[in-house]
Amino acid sequence: MKKIKLALLIILSVIILAGCGKSAKEEFFDYTKKNVTENSSNDISMTIKDIKLTADMKDSPEANVMITQLKDIKVTGSMQHDVSEKATNTKLNIEALGQKIPLEFISKNDDMYFSLDIFRGISKIASQFNSELPSDEKTLSAFDGKYLKLSDADTLEIDSKSATNLTKEFQKEVSNYFTSLDEERFTKENDVVTFKLTKKDVVVLAEKFNTLSKSKKEYKEFIIPDFDEMIKNLPKALDAKFNLNTKTSDLAVALTSTFDKKNEGFIDSIEVLYNYKPNDKQVAIKLPVKKEIVNVKEIEAILAPYLSDELDEELDGDFNMADDEFKELVKELEKEDFSSFSAAESDELLEEYEPLLTEKQYKTIEKIFKNK
């Protein structure tokens, strides 16, 4: 979750930059500042332009089938920003594996709501991989038209006020960083301003975020404990090319990731295209009403009958984790920092793992938790 929050903060903060003037660099920042300080409504889309397989996997039928399925993934939708109400509404439609999945986020001030209409589509996709989720109409209809309030403490387990303050400070850091970039990195041809973001920029911004998280006690929950490992696991190359049409305000972003062969993956590189186009669909952003909002406990109650049956089946089958899976689990756990965990929290984690482990495996995991 913290890695996701870091990535989102960096990407969103690139858009929240200040500037004025007539150079290509300043024109780019004029556009980004306008999008934040004025009401806006944009059509957005995402497509996968190209995926290249590694040399040893080019002739693999299974890999090529998977590549074809990935290339078919499309995302379309809209993003609306109401400055006076401090509200945003993002609506997306994801086309994947023959299914159309709606995705919606609504936010106002520090509150954010996530539409649970997505559950039907996810359930259908999961069934294609024999990973069943509840698919009966009674369960599915319980999620229709409902929203999960993400800003609730029991949902994200973070202090929303601290998150807001950290975001504001980080945006200043990002603004200062981009203001310091050389003019030569911004070029203009006809009405189009081009700017390239590199892996080096992403790493610098990530380091600034982590340093800022360590600067105040209220931000410590956002520190990335495995930061160096996360940076190490970034793609070998990461390039984002921004093309801004200053006449139409259309923004096209091409993100290319190239992976290291030593990671033993089957994808050599992937290029994803994002497009943002202004529209005239500005309407009042409506927040969910009380009867449409559910919390995590209510969701757990809806899924409880299914989840308990699934767990009973596993236990009845005397399920234990395979040795190779257990070795991977140990490797991952040894990377984590459990020093801040209380004895009660450690015991709770152990209870979760216990049904899946042999007595010997359990003692190994117990030792990891107790010694951290």
Q: Look up tokens 């973001």; give the residue.
A: 197
**What does pTM read for this prediction?**
0.69
Sequential pLDDT tens for the chain (372 residues):
444 445 555 555 554 443 333 578 888 887 777 776 788 889 999 999 999 988 888 888 888 888 888 888 999 999 998 988 889 999 999 998 788 899 999 988 878 899 999 888 888 777 766 666 677 788 888 889 999 987 665 555 566 678 778 888 988 888 888 888 898 999 999 999 999 999 999 999 999 999 999 999 888 888 887 888 888 888 999 999 999 998 899 999 999 999 987 766 788 999 999 999 998 887 889 999 999 998 888 888 887 766 655 444 444 445 566 677 777 777 777 777 666 666 776 777 777 777 777 778 888 878 777 665
For 319, which DSSP code?
-
Strands 293-294 and 147-149 come out as parallel
- Residues 190/243, Cβ–Cβ less than 8 Å: no
Q: Six-digit token pair at 123?
A: 């359930």
So what's the pLDDT on residue 39? 85
Distances (CA, A) of 305 to 261, 298, 348, 349: 44, 13, 22, 22
**pLDDT given for residue 98 in this prediction:** 80
What percent helix, strand, coil does the chain show, rounded to 5? 50, 25, 25
Strands (E), 31-136: 40-53, 74-82, 87-96, 99-108, 111-115
Sign of dihedral through CA atoms 260, 264, 269, 275?
Answer: negative
Q: What's the CA gap between 131 and 312, in Å, rounded?
A: 16
User: What pLDDT score was predicted for residue 141?
Assistant: 86
Longest dimension (CA), the chain: 71
Give the pLDDT score at 44.
95
Counted residue by residue, the chain has a size of 372
Question: How high is the pLDDT of residue 229?
Answer: 87
Give the C-alpha separation, 222 to 206, whole Å.
12
- Cα dihedral 30, 35, 37, 39 sign: positive
